[in-house]
C-alpha cells in the first residue's frame, strides 16, 4: 500500500475514507507539533537535517534520504502490509483468524499495552532534547535527530491505534501522552527508565544500545499480537527501531575504538592517565554499562507476573520470535526458571512458564545485549589491551520485582549492605564519572571532524562520505 | 554499441556450462552488523537466517533482489564477493566469522584466454590511438574474459527503453541486463559480448558482438548486479545499404524477462583513472556515448567525495532528438560537467560537428591537454577520428603546442584512448 503524502497526515490506512477519525487526528496533530516545539530537540527548528523518511512500506521505500527541517518531517501512519489469512500463533485463540477490531473483553488490557508502549516514545525525545547542543560531530547530530523524529513517528503509530479503535478513552489517552513529561514529579512518564536523564552522549549511546533494545523486544512480542493492526504497526516500527540500536552499538564501539587507539599511542592504561588524554577510560564504560543494563532490566516488569500470563493467554502479546519456538504455544503445563530471593540468597526456582513470560523476554534481551558487548570486546582484543567489558547479572541493581530489595554484585553474588556501600563506586557511575563525561561534551560542527573522545564511523549514512554535511545550519 | 562484425567464434554454447564458473555471493559483514533482524524480516524468500552469533545469507536461496539493502540500518548487508561457484561460503562457515574474508583473486580471472577473434576486433577498434596504450596508472585492475562461449553467463533483461525521440530516424535503446547471483565485474570503458541465438543461413552460429557498458562499476542502479548497454538498431551498413543487424535487432526487440547469453568482459586499456583530481576529456558520437555515460555516472555518484577533477564532453548527433541520453545530460550541473553538444542536422542551423566545437573551445581544451592530470577518450564512428585529430592539431597550434608531441605524451602515459568502429 502506498503512502498518501497528499494528505495532511501521510498514511497508508486510507484515512480519507473515515472522516471522523481523520478529523480527530487532525485535531491531535497541532497538539503534537506544539509538543514537538516545546519538548523536541532544543534549538533545532531551522536546521536542515539529512533524514530518512519512509515513502512507502515496501522495502524500496523505507529509506528515502533528503534534507528536512524537523518540524516539517512527514510524521504519519504506516502499517506493514497485511499477511493474507494470518492466524493467531499462541494462547487460547491459537489457530483462529487474527482480529481486525478489538474484542470487547480485551479492550482495557490492549489499551494499557498500547499506552505503555506509546508513552516511551515522546519520553525519550524529552530525555534527549538537549543533546544536540553537545553533539560530537555532524554525523552524530544527524543520527540523534533521526532517532528523535522516529520516536515521534512511533508515537503517531500508537496514537492512531488509540484513536481508531478506542473511542473517547483512546482520544483522552492520546492527549495524556502529550501531557506527561519525563522526570516531572507531578506528571511523570509511566516507566522508570524514561524518567532518568540522558545528560550526555555516552548515556545516549548506552540508552540506545540497552533501552531501545528493550523496545525491540517489546515490539517483537507485540508484532505477534492477535490484534492485527497492532501487529502490523509494531512490525513497521521495528525497522525504525533497528536504526536506534545501530546508533547505540556503533556509538559505544567508536568510543571504545578511540580509547584503545589513545591507550596504544600513549602507552597508558591507568584510568586517570587515560582521562588525562581526553578519552573515556574502560572502567567508566563498564560502570555505565552496569547502570543502563540494570535500569533496562526493570522495564521488562516483574519476574513473575499474572498480567503477562493474561496477555499471552488472551493473544494480546506473544513471545520474541514466537514462530521459531518449538512448543505448544499455550504453556499451560511448562515451567521456566526464575531467580528468587530465598533467605537472603539468590536461588533459581521453577515458575509456571505463563507467569514467567516477562522473565523469558528479559532473557532474550540479555542474550542479545551480551552478544553486542562481545563485539565491543573484540575491538579491545584487537588493540591488544587486556580488558573485558561484561554485562551485569540480571539481579544487579534491580528496582522492580522480587529482587528489588536485594543487594547483588554485578557478577551475581549477593552482598551485604555494607559491601554494597563499599563497592558501589566501582559498580555504578559516580558523580565524578558523570562530571568527567560532562566535561568532555562540546559541540563539533565542522563536516568530517569528531570530538576527541570518539572515533569516526567506518562508513557514512546512505553511502555518503563521513565528511558529508549531514546537518546544515541556516 | 561496438559491433565487431568480423569475429566469428566457431564453438557452440553448451547450456549446461552456463554460469558454471564464477558466482557473486551476498554476505553480511559481522563486524558492522548489529543483529537487528531487519534483513531477515524483510527478505521475501527467506534467504537470511541467524544464530546467536551471526546473520548470514543462504547462497542457494538469495536471488539478489536487494529488498534487504536499504532497510539495513548499518550497511553491513551490502557486501558481495566473487567466488568460484564450487567454493561459495557455506552457512556453517559464515556463522563462524568475526569478520568478512578478503576478496580473493578468483582462480579464473584476467589470465583467462581472449578469443583471437575478439582480440583482433578490439585491436581494430583501438587502431586510431596509434598502437597499444596502457590503462591509466590508477585504473582499477580489470577482469577480462571471465565468460567464454563455452562457459557464457546468462543475464536477464530488466529494461529496454528507447532513448531517441519517436520521430528520430535512429532507434537507440538503453538496455538493462541483470546477472542475478553471477559475478560480472565490469569497469567503465569495458565491453561485453552478446551471443545472438540461432545461426545464419548456413546453420553456423552467429558472430559474437561487443558492446560498451554504459553503466558504472557498481551497477546501473548502485549496488545492483546489473549493467546497461546503449544499442542502436542497425538498419543499414556503413555504406548506407539497407541491411538488418542481427544482434542489434535481436537486442532492441527484447522484452523484459528475456534471457541473454553474455561473454566477456573485455578491454584492459580504455579505462578511467581512479585517482582524485584527474580530468576526463571525452569526445563521442551516437552510441559512442556509452563508455562516456559510464564514466560520467561513476564520477557523479562520487561527487560528495569532492575528489575534484574536471569533466569536459564533446558529443555529436544529428539532432537533440537523436542524441542518446540528451535529457539526463542536460540535467547535470554545469560545475560538474562541461557539456558541448554538436548537431549536424538541425533545420535552419548550419551543420556542426564535434571538431567544430573543440575549435570553438580551444582555450579550455588546450588547458586540459596541457594538464598532466587529463585523460582523453574518443569513441564513435571511425569517420570522426581524423576530424578530431585535426581539431586537436589546430587547438595546439593556436596555443603554442605541438599536437604530435602532445599526442605522443598522452599515448605513452596511458592518457589517450580511442575506440571507433
Contact criterion met (CB below 8 Å) for B352 and B320: no
Residue A364 C-alpha, separation from nearest chain B C-alpha, in angstroms? 10
Query: How far is Cα B173 from Cα B254, in angstroms, rounded to an integer?
Result: 10
User: Do B217 and B139 fall into the same domain?
Assistant: yes
DSSP calls for A295-363: HHHHTT--SS-HHHHHHHHTTSS--TTGGG--S-SS-SS-EEEEEEEETTEEEEEEEETTTTHHHHHHH
pLDDT of residue B9: 37
Nearest to B180 by CA among B243, B247, B257, B128: B257
User: Do B79 and B119 fall into the same domain?
Assistant: no
pLDDT 10s digits, A337-349: 999 988 888 999 9
Structural domain for B86, as ranges: 23-96
Per the structure, the count of domains in chain B is: 3
pLDDT tier for residue A2 given thresholds of 50, 70 and 90: low
Question: Contact B74/A246, CB-based, under 8 Å?
Answer: yes
In this predicted model, which residue has the larger pLDDT, A140 or B83?
A: A140
Question: Is A464 an interface residue toward B (CB < 8 Å)?
Answer: yes
Q: Strand B22-27 to strand B172-178: parallel, antiparallel, or no bridges (unpaired)?
A: unpaired
Looking at chain B, the whole-number percentage of residues with pLDDT higher than 70 is 90
Q: Is A412 left (phi over 0), alpha (psi -120 to 50) or beta?
A: left
Task: Out of A110-114, A461-465, B291-295, B412-416, pick the least confident.
Answer: A461-465
Residue B50 C-alpha, separation from nearest chain A C-alpha, in angstroms? 12
Residue A376 C-alpha, separation from nearest chain B C-alpha, in angstroms? 10
Question: Contact A371/B70, CB-based, under 8 Å?
Answer: no
pLDDT tier for residue B113 given thresholds of 50, 70 and 90: low
Q: How far is CA A87 from CA A24, A90, A94, in A?
A: 31, 9, 7
pLDDT 10s digits, A14-25: 888 999 999 999
In this predicted model, which residue has the larger pLDDT, B131 or B45?
A: B45
pLDDT tier for residue B112 given thresholds of 50, 70 and 90: very low
Which residues in chain A have their CB less than 8 angstroms from residue B37's CB? Answer: 220, 238, 242
Query: How far is Cα A74 from Cα A7, in angstroms, rounded to an integer?
Result: 10
A272 located within any domain: yes
**End-to-end Cα, chain A, rounded Å:** 36
Question: Is A84 an interface residue toward B (CB < 8 Å)?
Answer: no
User: Do B326 and B347 fall into the same domain?
Assistant: yes
Instruction: Check which CATH number belongs to the domain holding A421 and give it.
Output: 1.10.620.20
Question: Contact A60/B67, CB-based, under 8 Å?
Answer: yes
**Within 10 Å of residue B190's Cβ, how many Cβ atoms?**
25
pLDDT 10s digits, A252-292: 999 999 999 999 999 999 999 999 999 999 999 999 999 99
- Structural Rg of chain B based on CA atoms: 22
pLDDT of residue B10: 34
- Which triple of cell numbers denotes residue A439? 566535561
pLDDT at B12 over 50: no
Q: What is the mean pLDDT of chain B?
A: 85
Q: Which residue of B has its CA nearest to A147?
A: B73
Structural domain for A430, as ranges: 15-472
Task: Go through chain A and tell me how many residues it has.
Answer: 474
Query: How far is Cα B356 from Cα B347, in angstroms, rounded to an integer?
Result: 18
User: Do B229 and B253 fall into the same domain?
Assistant: yes
Contact criterion met (CB below 8 Å) for A55 and A197: no
The answer for residues whose C-beta is within 8 angstroms of residue A360's C-beta and 6 or more apart is A319, A320, A336, A353
pLDDT 10s digits, A128-158: 999 999 999 999 999 999 999 999 999 999 9
B8 located within any domain: no
| DSSP for residue A211 | I
pLDDT of residue A59: 74
pLDDT tier for residue A206 given thresholds of 50, 70 and 90: very high
B261 located within any domain: yes
The residues that bridge with A329 in the sheet, in sequence order, are none
Task: Out of A107-121, A128-142, A371-385, B64-78, pick the least confident.
Answer: B64-78
A389 located within any domain: yes
pLDDT of residue B21: 64
Contact criterion met (CB below 8 Å) for A207 and A248: yes
Q: What is the mean pLDDT of residues A195-216?
A: 94
Question: Contact B34/A62, CB-based, under 8 Å?
Answer: no
pLDDT of residue B111: 38
Q: How far is CA A373 from CA A380, A388, B280, in A?
A: 11, 9, 48
B50 located within any domain: yes
The residues that bridge with A50 in the sheet, in sequence order, are A67
B271 located within any domain: no
Which residues in chain B have their CB less than 8 angstroms from residue A243's CB? Answer: 73
Between CA A117 and CA A239, with CA A364 as vertex, the angle to 5 degrees is 50
User: Which residues of chain A from 325 to 384 reach within 8 Å of chain B, CB to CB?
Assistant: 367-368, 371-372, 375, 378
Q: Which residue of A has its CA nearest to B43?
A: A59
Question: Contact A458/B34, CB-based, under 8 Å?
Answer: no
A6 located within any domain: no
pLDDT 10s digits, B358-398: 999 999 999 999 999 999 999 998 888 889 999 999 999 99
Query: How far is Cα A172 from Cα B116, in angstroms, rounded to an integer?
Result: 80
A5 located within any domain: no
B226 located within any domain: yes
Given B32, B41, B73, which is nearest A458 (Cβ)?
B32
Task: Out of A1-10, A251-260, B123-132, pick the least confident.
Answer: A1-10
User: Do B191 and B219 fall into the same domain?
Assistant: yes
Between CA A75 and CA A86, with CA A80 as vertex, the angle to 5 degrees is 150
Question: Contact B36/A216, CB-based, under 8 Å?
Answer: yes
pLDDT tier for residue B307 given thresholds of 50, 70 and 90: confident
Question: Is A232 an interface residue toward B (CB < 8 Å)?
Answer: no
Question: Is A95 an interface residue toward B (CB < 8 Å)?
Answer: no
Question: Contact A59/B42, CB-based, under 8 Å?
Answer: yes
Query: How far is Cα A408 from Cα A396, in angstroms, rounded to an integer?
Result: 5
Per the structure, the count of domains in chain A is: 1
pLDDT 10s digits, B37-74: 889 988 999 999 998 889 999 999 998 888 898 888 88
User: Do B56 and B133 fall into the same domain?
Assistant: no
pLDDT 10s digits, B170-186: 899 999 999 988 889 99
Instruction: Check which CATH number belongs to the domain holding B74 and give it.
Output: 3.30.70.20
Name every residue in B having a CB less than 8 A away from some CB of A.
Answer: 31-32, 34-38, 41-42, 52-53, 67-68, 70-75, 98, 222, 304-305
Residue B146 C-alpha, separation from nearest chain A C-alpha, in angstroms? 29
Look at residues B239, B266, B293 and tell me which one is the last residue of a structural domain. Answer: B266
Which ipTM was obtained for this model? 0.77
The answer for residues whose C-beta is within 8 angstroms of residue A459's C-beta and 6 or more apart is A466, B32, B75
The number of C-beta contacts closer than 8 angstroms across A and B is 60
User: Which residues of chain A from 317 to 336 reach within 8 Å of chain B, CB to CB?
Assistant: none
Look at residues B96, B123, B143 and tell me which one is the last residue of a structural domain. Answer: B96
User: Do B324 and B216 fall into the same domain?
Assistant: no
CA A19, A24, A27, A33 torsion: positive or negative? negative
User: Do B71 and B186 fall into the same domain?
Assistant: no
Q: What is the mean pLDDT of residues B194-214?
A: 86
Question: Is A238 an interface residue toward B (CB < 8 Å)?
Answer: yes
pLDDT tier for residue B117 given thresholds of 50, 70 and 90: low
A373 located within any domain: yes
Question: Is A468 an interface residue toward B (CB < 8 Å)?
Answer: yes
Which residues in chain A have their CB less than 8 angstroms from residue B41's CB? Answer: 235, 238-239
Q: Which residue of B has its CA nearest to A243?
A: B73
Contact criterion met (CB below 8 Å) for A206 and A252: yes
pLDDT of residue B109: 38
B139 located within any domain: yes
Residue A342 C-alpha, separation from nearest chain B C-alpha, in angstroms? 32
Question: Contact A459/B75, CB-based, under 8 Å?
Answer: yes
A448 located within any domain: yes
Question: Is A235 an interface residue toward B (CB < 8 Å)?
Answer: yes
User: Do B310 and B381 fall into the same domain?
Assistant: yes
pLDDT at A5 over 80: no
pLDDT of residue B35: 87
Alpha helices, DSSP H, located in B259-413? 289-301, 326-330, 354-360, 362-370, 384-398, 403-412
| DSSP for residue B98 | S
pLDDT of residue B7: 34
Q: Which residue of A has its CA nearest to B31?
A: A375
Test mutation, A210, A239, A456, chain B, max B CBs within 10 A: A239
Question: Is A242 an interface residue toward B (CB < 8 Å)?
Answer: yes
Question: Contact A375/B68, CB-based, under 8 Å?
Answer: no
pLDDT at B292 over 90: yes
Query: How far is Cα B119 from Cα B129, in angstroms, rounded to an integer?
Result: 16
Question: Contact A59/B36, CB-based, under 8 Å?
Answer: no
User: Do B301 and B411 fall into the same domain?
Assistant: yes
Which residues in chain B have their CB less than 8 angstroms from residue A250's CB? Answer: 32, 34, 74
A3 located within any domain: no
pLDDT at A441 over 50: yes
Q: Which residue of A has its CA nearest to B30?
A: A375
Test mutation, A58, A59, A248, A465, chain B, max B CBs within 10 A: A59
B104 located within any domain: no
DSSP calls for B232-258: EPP-B-TTS-B---HHHHHHHTPPTT-
- Which triple of cell numbers denotes residue B268? 584492459
Q: Which residue of A has its CA nearest to B307?
A: A465
User: Do B183 and B233 fall into the same domain?
Assistant: yes
A9 located within any domain: no
Instruction: Check which CATH number belongs to the domain holding B303 and give it.
Output: 3.40.50.80
Name, of A235-249, A349-363, B169-183, B209-223, the range with top average pLDDT. A349-363
pLDDT at A197 over 90: no
Residue B221 C-alpha, separation from nearest chain A C-alpha, in angstroms? 12
**Within 10 Å of residue B203's Cβ, how many Cβ atoms?**
7
Which residues in chain A have their CB less than 8 angstroms from residue B32's CB? Answer: 250, 458-459
Test mutation, A63, A241, A246, chain B, max B CBs within 10 A: A246
- Which triple of cell numbers denotes residue A186? 507531578
Look at residues B207, B236, B266 and tell me which one is the last residue of a structural domain. Answer: B266
Amino acid at each position: 500500500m502506498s503512502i498518501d503524502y497528499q494528505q495532511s497526515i501521510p498514511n497508508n490506512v486510507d484515512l480519507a475514507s473515515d472522516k471522523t477519525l481523520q478529523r480527530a487526528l487532525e485535531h491531535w496533530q497541532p497538539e503534537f507539533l506544539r509538543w514537538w516545539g516545546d519538548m523536541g530537540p532544543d534549538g533545532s527548528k531551522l536546521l536542515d537535517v539529512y533524514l530518512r523518511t519512509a515513502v512507502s512500506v515496501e522495502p524500496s521505500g523505507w529509506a528515502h534520504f533528503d534534507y528536512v527541517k524537523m518540524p516539517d518531517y512527514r510524521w504519519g501512519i504506516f502499517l506493514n502490509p497485511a499477511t493474507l489469512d494470518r492466524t493467531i500463533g499462541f494462547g487460547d485463540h491459537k489457530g483462529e483468524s487474527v482480529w481486525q477490531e478489538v474484542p470487547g473483553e480485551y479492550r482495557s488490557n490492549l489499551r494499557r499495552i498500547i499506552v505503555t508502549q506509546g508513552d516511551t516514545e515522546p519520553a525519550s525525545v524529552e530525555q534527549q532534547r538537549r543533546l544536540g547542543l553537545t553533539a560530537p560531530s555532524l554525523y552524530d547530530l544527524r543520527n540523534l535527530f533521526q532517532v528523535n523524529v522516529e520516536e515521534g513517528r512511533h508515537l503517531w503509530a500508537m496514537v492512531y491505534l488509540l484513536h481508531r479503535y478506542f473511542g473517547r478513552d483512546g482520544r483522552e489517552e492520546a492527549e495524556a501522552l502529550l501531557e506527561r513529561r519525563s522526570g516531572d514529579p507531578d506528571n511523570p512518564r509511566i516507566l522508570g527508565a524514561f524518567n532518568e536523564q540522558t545528560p550526555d552522549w555516552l548515556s545516549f549511546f548506552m540508552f540506545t544500545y540497552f533501552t531501545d533494545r528493550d523496545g525491540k523486544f517489546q515490539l517483537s512480542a507485540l508484532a505477534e499480537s492477535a490484534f492485527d493492526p497492532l501487529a502490523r504497526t509494531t512490525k513497521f516500527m521495528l525497522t525504525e527501531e533497528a536504526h536506534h540500536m545501530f546508533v547505540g552499538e556503533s556509538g559505544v564501539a567508536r568510543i571504545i575504538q578511540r580509547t584503545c587507539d589513545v591507550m596504544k599511542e600513549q602507552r597508558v592504561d591507568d584510568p586517570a592517565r587515560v582521562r588525562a588524554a581526553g578519552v573515556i577510560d574502560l572502567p567508566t564504560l563498564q560502570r555505565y554499562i552496569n547502570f543502563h543494563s540494570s535500569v533496562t532490566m526493570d522495564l521488562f516488569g516483574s519476574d513473575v507476573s499474572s498480567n503477562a500470563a493474561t496477555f499471552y493467554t488472551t493473544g494480546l502479546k506473544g513471545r520474541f520470535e514466537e514462530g521459531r519456538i518449538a512448543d505448544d504455544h499455550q504453556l499451560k503445563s511448562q515451567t521456566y526458571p526464575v531467580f528468587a530471593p530465598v533467605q537472603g540468597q539468590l536461588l533459581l526456582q521453577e515458575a509456571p512458564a505463563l507467569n514467567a513470560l516477562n522473565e523469558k523476554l528479559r532473557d532474550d534481551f540479555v542474550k542479545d545485549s551480551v552478544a553486542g558487548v562481545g563485539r565491543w570486546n573484540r575491538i579491545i582484543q584487537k588493540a591488544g589491551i587486556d580488558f573485558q567489558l561484561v554485562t551485569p547479572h540480571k539481579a544487579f541493581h534491580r528496582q522492580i520485582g522480587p529482587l528489588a530489595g536485594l543487594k547483588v554484585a554485578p557478577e551475581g553474588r549477593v552482598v551485604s549492605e555494607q559491601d554494597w556501600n563499599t563497592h558501589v563506586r566501582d559498580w555504578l557511575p559516580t558523580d565524578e564519572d558523570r562530571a568527567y563525561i560532562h566535561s568532555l561534551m562540546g559541540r563539533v560542527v565542522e563536516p568530517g571532524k569528531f570530538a576527541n573522545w570518539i572515533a569516526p564511523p567506518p562508513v557514512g549514512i546512505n553511502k555518503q562520505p563521513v565528511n558529508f554535511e549531514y546537518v546544515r545550519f541556516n | 554499441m561496438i559491433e565487431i562484425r568480423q569475429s566469428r567464434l566457431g564453438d557452440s554454447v553448451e547450456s549446461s556450462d552456463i554460469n558454471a564458473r564464477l558466482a557473486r555471493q551476498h554476505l553480511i559483514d559481522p563486524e558492522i552488523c548489529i543483529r537487528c533482524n531487519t534483513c531477515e524480516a524483510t527478505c521475501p524468500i527467506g534467504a537470511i537466517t541467524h544464530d546467536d552469533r551471526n546473520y548470514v545469507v543462504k547462497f542457494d536461496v538469495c536471488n539478489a533482489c536487494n529488498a534487504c539493502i536499504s532497510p539495513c540500518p548499518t550497511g553491513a548487508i551490502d557486501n558481495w564477493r566473487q567466488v568460484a561457484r564450487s567454493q561459495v561460503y557455506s552457512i556453517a562457515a559464515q556463522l563462524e566469522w568475526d569478520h568478512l574474508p578478503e576478496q580473493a583473486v578468483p582462480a579464473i580471472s584476467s589470465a583467462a584466454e581472449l578469443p583471437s577473434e575478439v582480440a583482433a576486433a578490439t585491436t581494430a577498434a583501438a587502431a586510431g590511438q596509434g598502437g597499444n596504450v596502457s590503462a591509466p596508472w590508477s585504473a582499477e585492475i580489470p577482469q577480462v574474459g571471465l565468460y567464454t562461449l563455452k562457459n557464457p553467463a546468462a543475464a536477464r533483461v530488466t529494461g529496454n527503453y528507447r532513448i531517441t525521440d519517436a520521430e528520430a530516424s535512429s532507434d537507440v535503446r538503453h538496455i538493462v541486463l541483470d546477472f542475478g547471483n553471477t559475478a560480472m565485474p565490469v569497469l567503465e570503458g569495458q565491453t561485453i559480448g552478446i551471443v545472438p541465438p540461432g545461426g545464419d543461413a548456413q546453420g553456423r552460429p552467429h558472430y559474437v558482438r561487443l558492446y560498451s557498458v554504459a553503466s558504472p562499476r557498481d551497477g546501473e542502479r548502485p549496488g545492483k548486479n546489473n549493467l546497461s548497454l546503449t544499442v542502436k538498431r542497425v538498419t543499414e551498413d556503413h555504406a548506407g545499404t539497407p541491411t538488418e543487424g542481427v544482434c542489434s535487432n535481436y537486442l532492441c526487440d527484447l522484452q523484459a524477462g528475456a534471457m541473454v547469453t553474455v561473454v566477456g568482459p573485455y578491454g584492459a586499456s580504455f579505462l578511467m583513472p581512479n585517482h582524485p583530481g584527474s580530468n576526463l576529456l571525452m569526445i563521442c558520437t551516437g552510441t559512442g556515448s556509452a563508455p562516456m555515460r559510464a564514466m560520467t555516472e561513476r564520477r557523479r555518484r562520487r561527487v560528495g567525495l569532492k575528489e575534484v577533477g574536471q569533466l569536459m564532453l564533446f558529443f555529436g548527433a544529428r539532432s537533440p532528438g537523436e542524441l542518446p541520453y540528451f535529457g539526463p545530460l542536460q540535467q547535470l550541473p554545469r560545475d560538474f560537467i562541461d557539456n558541448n553538444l554538436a548537431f549536424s542536422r538541425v533545420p535552419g542551423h548550419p551543420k556542426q560537428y564535434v571538431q567544430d566545437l573543440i575549435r570553438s573551445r580551444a582555450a579550455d581544451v588546450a588547458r586540459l591537454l596541457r594538464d598532466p592530470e587529463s585523460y582523453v577518450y574518443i569513441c564513435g564512428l571511425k569517420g570522426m577520428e581524423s576530424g578530431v585529430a585535426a581539431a586537436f592539431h589546430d587547438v595546439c597550434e593556436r596555443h603554442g603546442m605541438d599536437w604530435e608531441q602532445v599526442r605522443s605524451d598522452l599515448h605513452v602515459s596511458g592518457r589517450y584512448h580511442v575506440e571507433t568502429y
